[in-house]
């Protein structure tokens, strides 16, 4: 809200031509804050403000825009100015951005860049989306192994202004093979005549260029890395993936998992579709991918109920408890599947533990089912004033459905993992639908066993 | 698996007394890898190996153990050795660890520490769990504003061996008030006579000591920070929260969200309960917190069905489609609630957008309901050979239930946010149960309107 008022003020000052005031105001702020403010200003005035900032701040600010605004800005700027921005942007972000531009808009901008920069962008845009190659940056400091600490520091001092970070340097041989990593901290501590090769860390965690981005982000999280080097099959250094990109990847993947668990499969590889930017027709399409097959499988319930027609006629009060029973089964199943997906995601559960998981979950199911069953028994017997055997049928059915729902909720994500599918795509709706169909069978079978025999 | 075989080999070598071979083997490895291997070795031999490593590597390795193994190890070691490990551990990790030890086990270890270290641990253990104070570390480098760059580098060179990182230094006045931040990279670039106060960054993102840890982690993610300074109400620096801790916090919170969405509320503040370490009775208790109230609300469905008894007798075939209809409503509702929770979590949706969200989601509901309704119409009319008006009732009910489920799925998490509750705790089972009860009303009302009038 405050930001919005600020944006209105800024527009006024800008329209009055007080450019120096605007520039001064912005140069004290973090680029993320500037981007926040510019979001509330129309694109034309926003562009005017951007062009007042110094080129580095301009590029940093643009990095914090969402993709759509980045594209709009780049396409509305003069190609010369747009190229200047690309020059200062993080190498991974600018490759992604160029990928999103219309080809005929990108071409004149790329033409204004130095040959090396253009090559760098085109190389980075070629990697498969979702791999280490597609998220890595080529902006890192390198050192030769034979340098002394003094020479290395001298070199870094020279390079630093052009580098996003020099906290770690990568030690390469003449074929760009990665030999080791050395931190700026270590360079500061060591004596100035020491050679880099004798202090570099030779045992380091690495990623290969075609590795899955989620895998790479997990490594960064597990080993508490600031950045991970990305190499090809000959150990040649191609780029690095930094901790902030890893955090973005993990957050995005986990937001997707939540969506998938709700029964919506987001189109993969498409980055992070903003809630407001997807058209309603596309939203409906994404949801139908699951809702339609679930609806079709759900019709099996009408087949089950229909085929116990004679039982319904004999005991019409059976129907009263159908929604409660299958609803409870769906709920118990959702709880279990949520627990198992979390365990699989955090690596606490493996497929080889399947037997123990199943035992644990079915035992929990029995415990929950017994408690709810007793409650159901008294509800049906005392409150609903049904016969004792009828109350018994409800109690046993609750127990049976909870046991069954917990077993299905545990087995399906484990099987998905075994078959190489993403267990996070086993959704609560899928489990509910599975349990609905089978739960009805359980209910009617128990009713026949107990009530029909008694009748 | 490979690790497991390795562990067996190591045990053999160890039992043969080849200590040098073991030490040499480990000193080449990353502490996270060492911890992985030691996990598969019994605690006694594991301790023996730990004690062979140099104290810093020992402490780093312990940091990668899970909490339970850390506690077991600390309690089985001689207090002198345990104290030595604490001395080299990250300051935040060791405070958490001391918090987990039995008081009478912790006391002799703390007694063996230097006064300043003991004070530091005791201070850190006092902050409320879940706040910035409880996750921050006190291991950071500080500089005075009047130092020159040369003096600052000299000072850092001196301090560096004892610090986890010196990539950023915090500039404090004589009352420890935080004046600015300066990076090692900047120190390397600047001329040696420049004063720190003239190059430090005075506008920086900070966290207050009682701020929620998730909030702090979000700031680190949003601003791509390596670490965030934590200050008290007088701007005095108390500690820093680092990017790797932020990543752990976000991953943990998001895993909890997944669980909550499945309908399980994890006990808060209890860290990260491993799947295998929670007793089955506690698992059942956690699930009952939701399953029991949902079961009780679910009994409302039997009340609804029961009170339309006369309708059931008149049109017994109505029951055949009950599970399909309410199941579809539950599925559509789960999809919507998953989408809205994700949007709220990523900040794409605010409460003030409620009207637009509701419009969007109900429109999507109409679209989905119309498609599935048409499908349902033909299924009931052609396949099930029911009357045209009956097929019409099913079609209109599908439409109505989808519209209703999408509205409920959008409204409930928005209301939760408005009331200050965590919207992630609006679960798929909660929405399903809500839609079950109301869906039955919709079904029966439409049936009365159409079929009873025709009859």
**Domain residue limits, chain A:** 2-127, 141-248, 277-454
**Cross-chain residue pair B326–A328, CB shorter than 8 Å:** no
Containing B227, the helix (H) or strand (E) segment is: strand B227-231
Containing A241, the helix (H) or strand (E) segment is: strand A237-242
A384 touches chain B (CB under 8 A): yes
Q: What's the pLDDT tens digit per position in B166-189? A: 899 999 999 999 999 999 999 988
- Would you state the CATH architecture of domain A277-454? Orthogonal Bundle (1.10)
Q: List phi, psi (to 5°) of A174.
A: -70, -15
**Cross-chain residue pair A166–B156, CB shorter than 8 Å:** no
Q: Alpha helices, DSSP H only, in A53-90? A: 55-63, 67-76, 79-88
Å between B348 CA and nearest CA of chain A: 6
- Is the pLDDT reported for residue A87 higher than 60? yes
- Is the pLDDT reported for residue B400 higher than 80? yes
Provide the CATH topology of domain B280-454.
Tetracycline Repressor; domain 2 (1.10.357)
Residues above pLDDT 90, as percent of chain A = 29
Chain A 253-272, residues with CB within 8 Å of chain B CB atoms = 254-255, 257-264, 272
Mode of pairing for the β-strands spanning A237-242 and A227-231: antiparallel
- Is the pLDDT reported for residue B235 higher than 50? yes
Q: What's the pLDDT tens digit per position in A319-343? A: 889 889 998 999 999 989 988 888 8
Q: What's the pLDDT tens digit per position in A260-306? A: 888 887 654 445 567 777 888 888 888 888 888 888 888 888 888 88
Locus of tokens 């034309």: A44
Query: Which band of pLDDT confidence, cut at 50, 70 and 90, is reported for residue B2?
Result: very low
pLDDT computed for residue A63 by the predictor: 84
Query: Which band of pLDDT confidence, cut at 50, 70 and 90, is reported for residue B194?
Result: very high
Å between B341 CA and nearest CA of chain A: 8
B318 touches chain A (CB under 8 A): no
3-state secondary structure of A148: strand
**Cross-chain residue pair A184–B184, CB shorter than 8 Å:** yes
Chain B 91-110, residues with CB within 8 Å of chain A CB atoms = none
* ipTM, interface predicted TM-score of the complex: 0.74
Give which of B248, B233, B219 is closest to B92, Cα–Cα: B248
Q: What span, in angstroms and rounded, lies between the C-alpha atoms of B254 and B265?
A: 13
CA distances from A440 to A318, A421, B440 (A): 11, 29, 17
pLDDT computed for residue B386 by the predictor: 83
Q: What span, in angstroms and rounded, lies between the C-alpha atoms of A322 and B363?
A: 30
Q: What's the pLDDT tens digit per position in B296-312? A: 888 888 888 888 888 88
User: Does domain A141-248 sit in CATH 3.10.580.10?
Assistant: yes
Half-sphere exposure of B313 (CA within 13 A, CB side): 6
Query: Which band of pLDDT confidence, cut at 50, 70 and 90, is reported for residue B263?
Result: confident
CA distances from A33 to A82, A248, A419, B233 (A): 21, 18, 45, 23
Confirm if B353 and A356 have CB atoms less than 8 A apart. Answer: no
Query: Which band of pLDDT confidence, cut at 50, 70 and 90, is reported for residue A1?
Result: very low
- Per the model's pLDDT, the better-predicted residue between B318 and B29 turns out to be B318
Give which of B28, B26, B3, B32 is closest to B244, Cα–Cα: B32
Residue of A nearest to B295 (CA): A328
Query: Which band of pLDDT confidence, cut at 50, 70 and 90, is reported for residue A7?
Result: low
Query: Which band of pLDDT confidence, cut at 50, 70 and 90, is reported for residue B343?
Result: confident
Q: What's the pLDDT tens digit per position in A109-127? A: 888 888 888 888 888 888 8
Query: Which band of pLDDT confidence, cut at 50, 70 and 90, is reported for residue A145?
Result: very high
Provide the CATH topology of domain B141-243.
CBS-domain (3.10.580)
Provide the CATH topology of domain B2-127.
MgtE N-terminal fold (1.25.60)
User: Mean pLDDT for chain A?
Assistant: 86
Sign of the dihedral through C-alpha A63, A67, A68, A70? positive
Mean pLDDT score, A217-235: 91
Sign of the dihedral through C-alpha B207, B209, B215, B216? positive
Q: List, edge to edge, every strand of the sheet that includes B168-172.
A: B141-143, B168-172, B178-183
- Cross-strand bridge partners of residue A169: A141, A182
Q: What's the pLDDT tens digit per position in B51-110? A: 888 888 888 888 888 888 888 888 888 888 888 888 888 888 888 888 888 888 888 888
Q: List phi, psi (to 5°) of A375.
A: -60, -45
Q: What is the largest CA-CA distance in chain A?
A: 98
pLDDT computed for residue B272 by the predictor: 56
With both helix axes pointing from N to C terminus, report the angle between B55-63 and B79-88 in degrees, rounded to the nearest 10: 80
Cα A427 to chain centroid, rounded: 16
- Those residues whose C-beta lies under 8 Å from the C-beta of residue B445, and which sit 6 or more positions away, are none
Q: Helix-strand-coil percent breakdown of chain B, rounded to 5?
A: 70, 10, 25
Q: What's the pLDDT tens digit per position in B25-46? A: 777 778 888 888 888 778 788 8
Q: What's the pLDDT tens digit per position in A418-450? A: 888 878 778 888 888 889 889 999 999 998 888
Size of interface A-B (CB pairs under 8 A): 343
**Cross-chain residue pair A251–B254, CB shorter than 8 Å:** yes
Give which of B334, B427, B255 is closest to A251, Cα–Cα: B255
Give which of B117, B172, B165, B114 is closest to B143, Cα–Cα: B172
pLDDT computed for residue A107 by the predictor: 87
Q: What's the pLDDT tens digit per position in B195-217? A: 999 999 888 899 999 999 989 99
Cβ neighbours, 10 Å, residue A270: 9
Sign of the dihedral through C-alpha A240, A252, A3, B217? negative
């Amino acid at each position: 809200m405050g930001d919005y008022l600020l944006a209105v003020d800024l527009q006024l000052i800008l329209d009055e031509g007080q450019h120096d005031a605007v520039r001064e105001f912005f140069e004290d702020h973090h680029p993320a804050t500037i981007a926040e403010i510019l979001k509330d200003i129309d694109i034309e005035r926003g562009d005017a403000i951007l062009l007042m900032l110094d080129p580095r701040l301009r590029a940093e600010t643009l990095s914090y825009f969402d993709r759509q605004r980045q594209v709009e800005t780049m396409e509305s700027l003069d190609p010369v100015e747009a190229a200047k921005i690309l020059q200062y942007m993080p190498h991974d972000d600018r490759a992604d951005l160029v990928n999103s531009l219309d080809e005929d808009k990108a071409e004149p901008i790329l033409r204004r860049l130095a040959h090396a920069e253009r090559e760098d962008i085109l190389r980075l845009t070629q990697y498969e989306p979702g791999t280490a190659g597609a998220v890595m940056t080529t902006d890192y400091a390198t050192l030769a192994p034979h340098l002394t600490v003094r020479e290395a520091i001298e070199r870094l001092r020279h390079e630093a202004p052009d580098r996003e970070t020099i906290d770690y340097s990568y030690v390469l041989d003449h074929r760009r093979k990665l030999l080791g990593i050395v931190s700026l901290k270590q360079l500061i501590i060591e004596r100035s005549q020491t050679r880099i090769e004798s202090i570099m860390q030779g045992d380091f965690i690495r990623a290969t260029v075609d590795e899955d981005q989620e895998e790479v982000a997990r490594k960064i999280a597990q080993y508490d890395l600031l950045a991970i080097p990305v190499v090809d099959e000959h150990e040649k250094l191609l780029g690095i993936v930094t901790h902030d990109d890893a955090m973005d990847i993990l957050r995005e993947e986990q937001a997707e998992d939540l969506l998938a668990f709700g029964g919506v499969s987001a189109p993969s590889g498409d980055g992070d579709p903003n809630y407001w930017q997807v058209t309603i027709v596309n939203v409906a399409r994404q949801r139908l991918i699951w809702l339609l097959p679930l609806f079709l499988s759900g019709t099996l319930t009408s087949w089950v109920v229909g085929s116990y027609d004679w039982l319904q006629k004999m005991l019409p009060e059976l129907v009263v408890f159908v929604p409660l029973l299958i609803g409870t089964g769906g709920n118990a199943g959702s709880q279990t599947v949520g627990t198992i997906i979390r365990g699989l995601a955090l690596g606490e559960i493996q497929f080889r533990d399947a037997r123990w998981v199943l035992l644990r979950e079915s035992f929990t199911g029995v415990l929950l089912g017994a408690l709810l069953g007793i409650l159901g028994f008294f509800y049906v017997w005392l409150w609903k004033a049904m016969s004792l055997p009828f109350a018994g049928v409800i109690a046993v059915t609750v127990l049976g459905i909870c046991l069954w729902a917990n077993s299905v909720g545990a087995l399906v994500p484990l099987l998905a993992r075994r078959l190489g599918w993403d267990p996070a795509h086993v959704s609560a709706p899928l489990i509910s639908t599975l349990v609905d169909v089978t739960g009805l069978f359980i209910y009617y079978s128990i009713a026949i066993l107990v009530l029909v025999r008694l009748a």
